[in-house]
Each structure stands twice: as structure tokens, then as C-alpha cells.
């Protein structure tokens, strides 16, 4: 491993915040209680759970009773979509298969796309900036629509969806449908409490903003019915069974509090770093192209294409030189599989396979950008040559 590393894959996961680690430690050692119990050790855990729920609710613009703790963003998305769908099916028991139709745009994360597919849902085309095509959405929705799931910020290219506009279309065309938003990539950068206010369900994941992996939350607004997808002891008011991951939940709450308190300053600082990185690479690499309009992206996203350079090979070479990045394609069965997001944006396969995502986070520094500006142009020139 090279001596110094420029970690530019924060959209995949970001380092734990010290506040989160400190908050968790006691719950990994002496405060080991199960909050469902009825003795003093259990009460200690329940108090911590209640406090964490308050913090998470405030950060997400919800009431504490609307927060359901999950084992991450994937589970939160699954619970939102399958949970509403199943609740509606349950309410119409006399008409099996009448849970309605689930709808999502083609550039969603697989946690949403595959849940939608598993329920026989419908896909809506994306625009060239990866946001949903609102006209196509309006045409797809109808009285049968049960859930519409539209992400707040895209995980690959970083574009932010105007959720209020999506909500207006949904309320107009499918007034009975629930609107879910995957805010997993948005939370580090955007005021999710206000931007996701038009949604009935909101999913977040702790490890994207300095909390631990395997913990997340789903806001289920009062009046939105969901059926559980995990059955058991009835925790989380019967919406998500399983003994609470107290340390993880407390860590997530601490990371959320720290993220919200510093978000404006972080966005300003990181956007400047990202701009220096993107502009520097566009100037240094002949033919380099930026994906999507920068003004509609979250601050940490830098997504570029280097014509003629296969992104998987580039990521391997960058890794050898101490730059951690991510490719817009994956090698499946010996062939390059282009990213479904880039395909949904209408890019040809050959271009999609030349893309590189450099994602910055709260701990990104000028040194990271300097290193990438030094290493990436050389690596691209080497592979192009
Ligand atoms: N949704 C989006 C937009 C994501 O970027 C991710 C993670 O990459 C997820 C959902 C899944 O979250 P988790 O890793 O917590 O399961």
C-alpha cells in the first residue's frame, strides 16, 4: 500500500466521526442492556435509544414516533417500498395482488430498483442529468400506484432531484400513492429535514455521514401505513422487529448531530475542493468530460469521463498510486458492465465505461486534491497511450 492515501470514495463510505466513536464505546462495553427489558440495565439502554430517536427525528424533520431504526439504507428502502405495498395488499385481502403498482426512476440505487422489480413495478426514464423525467412520471402514475420512490441525490453522479416538483406530480396524478425518498447520499450535504418534507417516507444510512455501517433509519410519517418485512418481537412499534443495535443507533445519532451542526461550512469547503479537483483534471487531461451539470450536484461529487480509457483499469492503477476512487462500470462475467445510472442518462456504453467517480467527504483535504491532480492525469495518459 502506498504511504499516503488520497481517499476519494466517500460516497461509498466515509470515516467514522470521532463523536460517533466516543458515543458508541460505552454501549459496546459496560452499557450492554437490551432496551426491551424491564430492569435498570435495560432502562439505561432504553434511555439512550429514546435520546437517539429524538436527535434523528429532529435531523430528519420528523416526530420521534415516525422514526424506524433499520440495519442500513438498503433495509430502509426495502421497508419503505415493500412495507407500504404489503400494507395495501393486506388492507384489500379480498382482492389478492391488489397492493397496487410501485414506480421508480431508472437511475435509482439498486436497493430501490431491485425492490421495485421484485414487486413487478414500473420504471420511469431519467433525464440526461439523472433526475426523473417528470412528464414520463406523470404519464406512468395513476389511481393504481401504491408507492413512488425517487432519490434525493444520486449516488453516482450526485445530481439532486427537485423533490417538491416530484411530489406535486405524484399528488396530482396518484393522490393515494405514498412518496418515498432515498436520502442516503443527500444527508451529508443537504438539509434533508426541509427538502424531504414533501415525502411520506425518508431513508438514510449512518455510514455515509460518519456513523457506523449496518445502521440506518426510515421516517414513516403519521398516516402512512406500512407492514413489517421482518417479523419477530415487535420492536419499533411492530414496524421492525429485532433487538436494537444500541451502539450503532447511538453512533448514528452522534454523527447526525455533528453533520447537521457543521453541514453549511463543510459544503462550502468541500465544494471548493471539488471544484479545484474537477477544473484541474478537465484542464490537465485532453478530452476529459464532466458528467452532469455541476450546479445541480451535491458538493462532494466529481464525476468525469476520459475517452478511450477503461475505468476499471484506471481505478486499479490509481489504487497502486494511492488514490482510492470508483469506476462507473463493473466487470461482470469477464465483460465490462456499464453503470445503469449512466445508461439511464443516455450515455453510450463505450462512454459509460470510461467514467471515474471521485467523491469527497467531510475529512477531504487539499492534500487529497493535490495528490489526485498529480496522479490521475499520469494514469490516464499511461492507459490512453
Ligand atoms: N441508497 C443509496 C443512494 C446509496 O448510495 C446506498 C449505499 O451506497 C444505499 C441506498 C444503501 O445503503 P446501505 O449501504 O446502508 O445499505
| Residues 35-51: tens digit of each pLDDT | 999 999 999 999 999 99
Could you give the CA distance from residue 165 to residue 179 in angstroms, rounded to a whole number? 12
Ligand 1 centre distance from Cα of residue 298 (Å): 16
- Give yes or no for a contact between 8 and 360, defined as CB atoms under 8 angstroms apart: yes
Cβ of 78 closer than 6 Å to ligand 1, yes or no, is: no
Q: What is the DSSP letter of 152?
A: S
Which residue CA neighbors atom 10 of ligand 1 most closely? 73
pLDDT for residue 337: 80
pLDDT score at 95 = 56
Catalytic residue among 104, 116, 324, 331: 331
Separation CA 151–CA 26 (nearest Å): 35
* SS3 label, residue 225: coil
Torsion 168-174-176-182 (CA) sign: negative
Closest by CA position to 326, among listed 12, 4, 30: 12
Q: Across the chain, how many H-helices and E-strands are there? A: 12, 15
Q: Which three cell numbers stand for residue 288?
A: 476529459
pLDDT of residue 329: 60
Find the helix or strand (DSSP H, E) in which 337 lies: strand 335-338
Alpha-carbon span 142 to 122, nearest angstrom: 12
What is the Cα–Cα distance from 111 to 79, expressed in whole angstroms? 10
The CA radius of gyration of the chain, in Å to the nearest whole number, is 21
Q: With a 6 A CB cut-off, is 70 part of the ligand 1 pocket? A: no
Residue range 287-306: mean pLDDT, rounded = 96
Distance from Cα 211 to the centre of ligand 1, integer Å: 13
For ligand 1, say whether the CB of 73 is within 6 Å of any of its atoms.
Answer: yes
Q: How far is CA 103 from CA 80, 85, 120, in A?
A: 13, 11, 9
Report DSSP state, residue 160: B
Which tens digit of pLDDT belongs to each residue from 196-228? 999 999 999 999 999 999 999 999 999 999 999
Pocket of ligand 1, candidates 13, 186, 208: which has the most ligand atoms within 8 Å of its Cβ, to mutate? 208
Which H/E stretch holds residue 116?
Answer: helix 110-118
- Residues 16/255, Cβ–Cβ less than 8 Å: yes
How high is the pLDDT of residue 137?
98
Atom of ligand 1 nearest to the CA of 205: 15
Whether 259 shows a pLDDT value over 90: the answer reads yes
- Grid cell digits, residue 22: 466516543
Has residue 333 got a pLDDT over 80?
A: no
Residue 284 alpha carbon to ligand 1 centre in Å: 32
Does 331 participate in catalysis according to the annotation?
Answer: yes
Residue position matching grid coordinates 492534500 = 367
Share above pLDDT 90 across residues of the chain, in percent, rounded to a whole number: 92
Question: Residues with Cβ < 8 Å from 256, sequence gap 6 or more?
Answer: 55, 56, 59, 187, 206, 209, 211
Query: In which element (H, E) is residue 311 found?
Result: helix 311-320
* Coil vs helix vs strand at 9: strand
Question: Which three three-digit cell numbers place residue 341?
Answer: 445510472
Question: Tell me, what's the pLDDT at 362?
Answer: 98
Residue 267: HSE in the Cβ half-sphere, 13 Å Cα cutoff: 16
Say yes or no to pLDDT of 334 above 80.
Answer: no
Distance 247 CA to ligand 1 centre (A): 20
Phi, psi of 233 (to 5 degrees): -75, -5
Q: What does the buried/exposed string (b/e) look like for 273-290 if buried means 16 or more CB atoms within 10 Å of the residue's CB? A: bbebbbebbeeebeebeb
* 3-class DSSP assignment, residue 210: coil
**Average confidence score pLDDT of the chain:** 95
> What are the pLDDT digits (tens) for 91-107?
765 555 567 899 999 99
Amino acid at each position: 500500500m502506498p504511504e499516503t492515501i488520497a481517499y476519494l470514495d466517500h460516497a461509498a463510505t466515509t470515516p467514522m466521526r470521532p463523536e460517533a466513536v466516543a458515543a458508541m464505546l460505552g454501549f459496546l462495553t459496560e452499557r450492554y442492556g437490551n432496551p426491551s427489558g424491564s430492569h435498570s440495565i435495560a432502562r439505561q439502554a432504553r434511555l439512550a435509544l429514546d435520546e437517539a430517536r429524538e436527535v434523528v427525528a429532529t435531523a430528519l424533520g420528523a416526530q420521534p414516533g415516525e422514526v424506524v431504526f433499520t440495519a442500513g439504507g438498503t433495509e430502509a428502502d426495502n421497508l419503505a417500498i415493500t412495507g407500504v405495498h404489503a400494507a395495501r395488499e393486506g388492507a384489500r385481502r379480498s382482492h389478492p395482488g391488489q397492493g397496487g403498482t410501485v414506480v421508480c426512476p431508472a437511475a435509482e440505487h439498486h436497493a430501490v430498483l431491485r425492490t421495485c422489480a421484485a414487486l413487478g413495478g414500473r420504471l420511469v426514464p431519467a433525464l440526461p442529468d439523472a433526475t426523473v423525467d417528470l412528464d414520463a412520471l406523470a404519464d406512468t402514475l395513476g389511481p393504481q400506484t401504491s408507492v413512488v420512490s425517487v432519490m434525493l441525490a444520486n449516488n453516482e453522479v450526485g445530481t439532486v432531484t427537485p423533490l417538491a416538483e416530484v411530489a406535486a406530480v405524484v399528488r396530482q396524478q396518484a393522490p393515494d400513492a405514498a412518496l418515498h425518498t432515498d436520502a442516503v447520499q443527500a444527508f451529508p450535504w443537504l438539509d434533508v429535514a426541509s427538502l424531504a418534507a414533501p415525502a411520506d417516507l425518508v431513508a438514510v444510512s449512518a455510514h455515509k455521514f460518519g456513523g457506523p455501517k449496518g445502521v440506518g433509519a426510515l421516517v414513516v410519517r403519521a398516516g402512512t401505513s406500512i407492514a413489517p418485512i421482518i417479523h419477530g418481537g415487535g420492536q419499533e412499534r411492530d414496524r421492525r422487529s429485532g433487538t436494537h443495535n444500541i451502539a450503532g443507533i447511538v453512533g448514528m445519532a452522534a454523527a447526525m448531530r455533528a453533520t447537521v451542526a457543521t453541514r453549511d461550512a463543510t459544503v462550502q469547503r468541500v465544494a471548493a475542493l471539488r471544484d479545484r479537483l474537477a477544473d484541474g483534471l478537465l484542464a490537465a487531461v485532453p478530452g476529459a468530460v464532466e458528467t452532469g451539470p455541476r450546479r445541480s450536484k451535491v458538493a462532494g461529487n466529481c464525476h468525469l469521463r476520459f475517452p478511450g480509457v477503461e475505468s476499471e483499469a484506471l481505478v486499479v492503477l490509481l489504487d497502486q498510486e494511492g488514490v482510492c476512487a470508483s469506476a462507473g462500470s463493473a466487470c461482470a462475467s469477464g465483460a465490462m458492465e456499464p453503470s445503469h445510472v449512466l445508461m439511464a442518462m443516455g450515455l453510450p456504453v463505450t462512454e459509460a465505461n470510461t467514467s471515474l467517480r471521485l467523491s469527497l467527504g467531510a475529512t477531504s483535504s487539499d492534500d487529497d486534491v493535490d495528490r489526485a491532480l498529480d496522479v490521475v492525469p499520469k494514469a490516464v495518459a499511461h492507459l490512453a497511450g
